[in-house]
Amino acid sequence: MPLCLLALSVSPVVLANNVLPDNEKICMKEMEVLLGQQQVIFSDSQTQPEVRRLAERAIDVSREAFSKNGSYCEAQQALQAMDLRKENVLELKKGEINYFGRSML
């Protein structure tokens, strides 16, 4: 059955009761992958500091969005809406790591 027909065949009452929990489960699994990727980038000491900074900000944006409503879907939307081109990685924001452990020693 085509997806559009399947969606129309579902009772609106049932659909309304199931949308959020089902979507949240899907978003939670997707966020596990997305945040896992960002954490790997942030934790890799061989990655350029600018790239690590962007990963740190992506994690922070997701965490902040999730803390507002406890929604994984909203956290995912915030992460995906982040415009990395507009991020000034040289400008340190409150709470960010300011030293990535690179030295000439």
Q: What are phi and psi of 83, to 5 degrees?
A: -95, 95
Higher pLDDT, 89 or 2: 89
| Per-residue pLDDT tens over the stretch 61-104 | 999 999 998 999 999 999 888 876 676 666 667 666 665 555 44
pLDDT of residue 49: 85
Q: How many CB atoms lie within 10 A of CB 77?
A: 14
Angstrom distance (rounded) from CA 65 to CA 84? 17
Angstrom distance (rounded) from CA 20 to CA 29? 14
Report whether 73 contacts 24 (CB < 8 A).
yes
pTM for this structure?
Answer: 0.65
